[in-house]
Structure 1
Amino acid sequence: MADTTTVTPGGGSSPAPGNRRDKSSGRVRTRGLPDWSIPYVLLVPGLLVIAGLLLYPMFQLGVMAFQRVGLAQVRGTRPAEWVGLENFERVLGNEIFWSALRNTVVFAFVAVSLTLIVGTAVGVLLHRLGKKMSLFVVIGCMFAWAVPPVAQGVIWRSLFDAEAGIVNWALNLLPDWLAAPPDGQPSWTGTPWLNDTPGLYTALVVCVVWAGFPFIAVSVLAGLKGIPTELYEAARVDGSGPWRTFRKITLPLLKPVFAVLTVLSIIWDFKVFSQLYVLMNGPTNRDGFNLSMYAVAEAFRPPQKLGTGAAISVVLTIILLVVTVVYVRQIVKQEEM
């Protein structure tokens, strides 16, 4: 490695030409980029990957939403035709869109609420368990979280099967006062959960909560590890009960964690597709569509209308952005207060 200093007549050394000495630290620095720009330069590779994998496809999706794109345009035998807002007008004027929007919002509200509640309860339980037992439960929970979405749908489709599903078998074991069979049926066997919209979304909620609560639980557990134990000891001395301690100490200190988890859960549950596709066995039940399923059905079912599917996706993206921005603004206001 070449020496970057030169010896002066007085016996000292001075930076070689092209280098300069940092007066604050005394270190020799090579001439180049200023210090403030180095973090931004290091971000460039990641930003390029994000631009290639996310931003460019989103840009193409936005362009396609204003075009008439079908199989001929995809094959390149006919150019795409600009139609302006026609795709959005067709989507917003369709009753299926409003039914899919209602299903999406109701499902997301129920799934997000249950996922946060169950995940928080499991996280608090893990915090109170011993190290070995806590590790064992965490590993078991993460197995469910690691299952791919398509496999989740396959698992719960078999569990909710009308004839051989474990769900109907378990309901038959319960007394009638707790789980009475549907009207006109002697037992739960043969109940087609996945044929109607309420039963379909019941199975979907269970599937999504089962797969989503481990991430919430582990995140809450990490947050609980950062709370000083002296606060809980002081609350115990003052005679505070478990619920009061959670409401007055744990919940306020974990608000930043819950804020992030809520936003992530809303985004994930608003765009659930793979599990619903498997449970529904494809886009067969229009009454059970959510916005993601409606977009896929419009884009790929003959006759293919990729422009309409893109318009639905753009609407879904805008809804998610609005919900996220409003929620984050509320969190910021509460923090400032």
Structure 2
Amino acid sequence: MSAADTTTPAKVPPPRQAPPPAVPKAPRRRRTSGGAAVPWALLAPCLLILALVMGYPLVRLVTLSFQKFGQSQLWGFQPAESVGFDNFGKVLGDSEFWTVVVRTIVFAVGSVVFTMVIGMLIALLLQRVSGWVKTLINIALVASWGMPIIVATTVFKWLFDSDYGVFNALLSKLPGVDMIGHNWFASGPQGLAVIMLLVVWGAVPFVVITLSAGLTQVPSELEEAARLDGAGAWGVFRYVTLPILKPIVVMLTTLSVIWDMGVFPQVFVMRGGHPEAEFQLLTTYSYDRAFVVNDYAQGSAIALLTVLLLLGVVAVYMRQMLQIGEVE
């Protein structure tokens, strides 16, 4: 073997690998000393207005409910005296107050049930009519929704008038029915039924518009699959449509309870500013005790108890709103 054959071959260096691309550094955000205060500064005008419009009356309401405050104290002849929980004791010990509470709850529940049922039926109907019919119905709903409460109450008062009421005249055209001269407000239940109809009439448009928007989010594929599986119209609504609309239904129901528990102008105007005992709800009962009997302290106590009763409903509403936000 020759010397040339015994030489060690030179090693070839491996090819150089390109260095990995440099990761660009995220730009550092400059921390401003007033960054956390900017949202509060923007909210300050709104919070100030809310504090003045809602905060002061609520504080004044709580203060009056723990005092003896009548005409003498109103005109400054005598100073207001602190009586502790005496006003609440008198109110809670009065059987008339509990009668009004039960009447208010029954009135609110009836109004909410009729509002939600009628609103759901109209919303479902709007999904099955032609475009121009849907437009006409929406215009009518918005027009009725935008009508002032005083105007709507006056119209209903005329419709159910005992002498010139259109409703009595229409019912009298039915065979064997004579409603001419019938006074719907001669008894509390019938009069409250008319007022409930007025409340439902004013609340249905908002429910229909909201539910109609929710129905547009129901996938048609799910409804078609349910029909192929043999489900009828009720089955599709119960197992497909209603579960998807449940958050909206719960929200609308809670809001309706809050609104219907606070009904005042419908009863007040319908009864000419002097609701009888059979027509008293919590709002009118509080007003009557304060401005008719001139016992502002007891009126404030009743109003504060009404606020506490509604806080439970508000808590349910806020809980549902937070759950809807978490799902989204």
TM-score by length of 2: 0.84
Q: For structure 2, list consecutive stretches of 5 or more residues without a partner in the other structure.
A: 1-24
**What does residue 69 of structure 1 align with?**
69
Kindly provide the amino acid, as one letter, of the partner of residue 32 in structure 1: S
- Percent identical among aligned pairs is 36
- The worse-fitting range, judged by mean Cα deviation, of 38-47 and 284-293 is 38-47
Pairwise CA distance, 1:65: 0.8
What is the alpha-carbon distance in structure 2 between the residues aligned to residue 148 and residue 105 of structure 1?
25
Q: Secondary structure at the match of 2:84?
A: coil
Pairwise CA distance, 1:236: 3.0
Q: Is the 8 A contact 2:258 2:313 kept in 1?
A: no
The one of 259, 264, 275 aligned to 1:268:
259
Pairwise CA distance, 1:40: 4.4
Q: Is the 8 A contact 2:247 2:320 kept in 1?
A: no
- The worse-fitting range, judged by mean Cα deviation, of 79-88 and 217-226 is 79-88
Q: Secondary structure at the match of 2:179?
A: coil
Kindly provide the amino acid, as one letter, of the partner of residue 309 in structure 1: G
Pairwise CA distance, 1:240: 2.2
**What does residue 13 of structure 2 align with?**
none
**What does residue 32 of structure 2 align with?**
31
Cα RMSD, aligned residues only: 2.5
What is the alpha-carbon distance in structure 2 between the residues aligned to residue 236 and residue 25 of structure 1?
55
**What does residue 174 of structure 1 align with?**
174
Q: Is the 8 A contact 1:122 1:217 kept in 2?
A: yes
Q: Deviations over 1:141-194 (max 9, x none)?
A: 121111222222211111111111111111111233xxx5xxxxxx21111111
**What does residue 56 of structure 1 align with?**
56
Pairwise CA distance, 1:44: 3.0
Kindly provide the amino acid, as one letter, of the partner of residue 303 in structure 2: S
The one of 262, 272, 275 aligned to 1:281:
272
- The worse-fitting range, judged by mean Cα deviation, of 77-86 and 200-209 is 77-86
**What does residue 100 of structure 1 align with?**
100
Distance 1:239 1:42, change over 3 A: farther
What is the alpha-carbon distance in structure 2 between the residues aligned to residue 85 and residue 175 of structure 1?
59
What is the alpha-carbon distance in structure 2 between the residues aligned to residue 199 and residue 281 of structure 1?
17
Kindly provide the amino acid, as one letter, of the partner of residue 94 in structure 2: N
What is the alpha-carbon distance in structure 2 between the residues aligned to residue 102 and residue 81 of structure 1?
32
- The worse-fitting range, judged by mean Cα deviation, of 69-78 and 257-266 is 69-78
Q: Is the 8 A contact 2:100 2:281 kept in 1?
A: yes
What is the alpha-carbon distance in structure 2 between the residues aligned to residue 125 and residue 322 of structure 1?
34
**What does residue 303 of structure 2 align with?**
313
Counterpart check, 1:244 vs 2:230: no
Q: For structure 1, list consecutive stretches of 5 or more residues without a partner in the other structure.
A: 1-22, 181-186
Q: Is the 8 A contact 1:194 1:279 kept in 2?
A: no
Pairwise CA distance, 1:333: 9.3
Distance 1:167 1:116, change over 3 A: same
Distance 1:242 1:331, change over 3 A: farther
**What does residue 152 of structure 1 align with?**
152
Kindly provide the amino acid, as one letter, of the partner of residue 48 in structure 1: L
What is the alpha-carbon distance in structure 2 between the residues aligned to residue 157 and residue 234 of structure 1?
49
What is the alpha-carbon distance in structure 1 between the residues aligned to residue 109 and residue 318 of structure 2?
17
**What does residue 126 of structure 1 align with?**
126
Pairwise CA distance, 1:317: 0.9
Aligned residues: 302
**What does residue 207 of structure 1 align with?**
198
- The worse-fitting range, judged by mean Cα deviation, of 47-56 and 193-202 is 47-56
**What does residue 17 of structure 2 align with?**
none
- The worse-fitting range, judged by mean Cα deviation, of 211-220 and 135-144 is 135-144
Pairwise CA distance, 1:329: 5.9
Q: Secondary structure at the match of 2:185?
A: helix
Q: Deviations over 1:35-67 (max 9, x none)?
A: x65444433332222222112211211111111
Pairwise CA distance, 1:277: 0.8
What is the alpha-carbon distance in structure 2 between the residues aligned to residue 253 and residue 83 of structure 1?
52
**What does residue 282 of structure 2 align with?**
291
**What does residue 222 of structure 2 align with?**
231
Pairwise CA distance, 1:331: 9.4
Larger radius of gyration: 2
**What does residue 20 of structure 1 align with?**
none
